[in-house]
Amino acid sequence: MSKAVVAMLGSVALVAALLCSLIHADRSNRTPPHPGAPPADAASTASQAIHIYCAASNQAVLEPIRQAYERLTGTSIRVQYGPSQTLLAQLELTHHGDLYLPADESYLVTAKARGLVAEILPLATMQVGVVVKRGNPKGIVQLKSLLADNVRLVQASPDAAAAGKIARDHLTQTGQWAAVAEATTAFRGTVIEVTNDVQVGSADAGIAYDAVLHSYPDLEFVAIDALRNAIGKVSLGVLESSQNRDKTLHFARFVAARDQGLKIYREHGFHVSDGAPGLDVPELSVPTGSMFGPASQR
């Protein structure tokens, strides 16, 4: 067999391997279907999936909301989880997707200023504080406790995650950030990574949100005075790039409905105001005058 033939066969094999790798990566990045969901082919044929960028801190609460909505409507919801800033950078680069759910509204304000977000729906709030092992073995009661030599402190990166950014902004205002940053053993990409470090014992304390502890029964939240006003405002943004505008706004209103999405947010430890917006029974019709109204109204 000539070298040319061998080279050609090798190239074919390489292309095949790359195609297999891309197919595998695409499947790995998809949100796994829940029991009872329509078959993937049927769902994609019936309607285009809604794509949402969601902060890792909201994953535990968004999943049951997604599952409930898919069961009720048959509409497929694709979710990409990650740090708030990383997701913002991605949607700004791609101009693709329908909804953006960061861990703090400040990212939506930035996105709206850049022409990426059309509408913002307030949902809930989270308190920034300290997570520790249940029983608080290190006796963390104030910010000064975190500076002790025997305390391994981790927190989310201020340049990637909302919790880290909020903590840095508040502690900078009081002149305490430099000391806390110096005492930090490691910066993580998300508050979930921070919480996991404390859970497995690789850290004694972590700066994170109170709401993330819903899934961590072995941990407890310590509210400290220095972070008393460090609050993450959770809101949902409807993206200008949405190609399924009626369906996207319908799902957004479902998330913001008092007896639907907000009920689940409350169950997961988020602070939800009784006066939060939302419809008790979301309808497919959209209010006249909204830029996301049905095509017949535009």
Residue 52 CA to residue 292 CA, distance in Å, equals 17
Residue 107 known to bind ligand: no
165 and 226 together in one domain? yes
**273 annotated ligand-binding residue:** no
pTM of the model: 0.75
Residue 120 CB neighbour total at 10 angstroms: 17
Question: Domain check: are 115 and 131 in the same one?
Answer: no
- In the prediction, which pLDDT does 298 show? 35
Q: Is 163 annotated as a binding residue?
A: yes
Amino acid 298 reads R
Q: Is the residue at 23 inside a domain? A: no
Q: Is residue 130 within 8 Å of 228, Cβ to Cβ?
A: no
The residue out of 175, 210, 231 marking a domain boundary is 231
Please tell me the predicted confidence (pLDDT) of residue 112.
97
CB distance 97 to 218 below 8 Å: no
Q: Are residues 193 and 172 in the same domain?
A: yes
Show the DSSP H helices in the chain as ranges. 3-28, 40-46, 59-73, 84-94, 105-113, 162-173, 177-183, 191-200, 245-255, 261-267
Q: Cα–Cα distance between 201 and 134 in angstroms, integer?
A: 12
* Distance (Å, whole) CA 20 – CA 29: 14
Looking at the fold, whether 137 and 178 belong to one and the same domain comes out as: yes
Q: Is residue 5 part of a domain?
A: no
254 occurs within a structural domain: yes
On whether both 89 and 168 belong to a single domain, the answer is no
CA 186 to chain centre: 21
Question: Is residue 30, in this structure, part of any structural domain at all?
Answer: no
- Write down the pLDDT at residue 35: 44
46: number of Cβ within 10 Å = 12
Q: Residue 14 domain-assigned?
A: no
Identify whether 267 is part of a domain: yes
The count of structural domains within the chain is: 2
Query: Is residue 21 included in any domain, yes or no?
Result: no
Report whether 216 belongs to an annotated binding site.
no
Could you tell me if 121 and 267 lie in one domain? yes
Residue-number span of the structural domain to which 137 is assigned: 127-231
- Residue 290 carries which side chain, given as an amino acid letter? S
Note the pLDDT of residue 274.
62
**Domain closes at, from 201, 231, 261:** 231
Last residue of a domain, one of 176, 210, 231: 231
84 and 155, same domain (yes or no): no
What is the mean pLDDT for each group of 10 consecutive residues in the chain (298 residues)?
38 40 41 46 58 96 97 96 96 96 96 97 97 98 96 97 96 97 97 97 98 95 97 97 94 94 96 60 46 38
**Which H or E run includes 79?**
strand 77-82
11 domain residue, yes or no: no
Does the annotation flag 286 for ligand binding? no
pLDDT of residue 48: 80
- The CA distance from 294 to 17, in Å, is 44
Residue 262: which CATH number?
Answer: 3.40.190.10
| CA–CA gap between residue 193 and residue 201 (Å, rounded) | 12
Task: Find the helix or strand (DSSP H, E) in which 51 lies.
Answer: strand 50-55
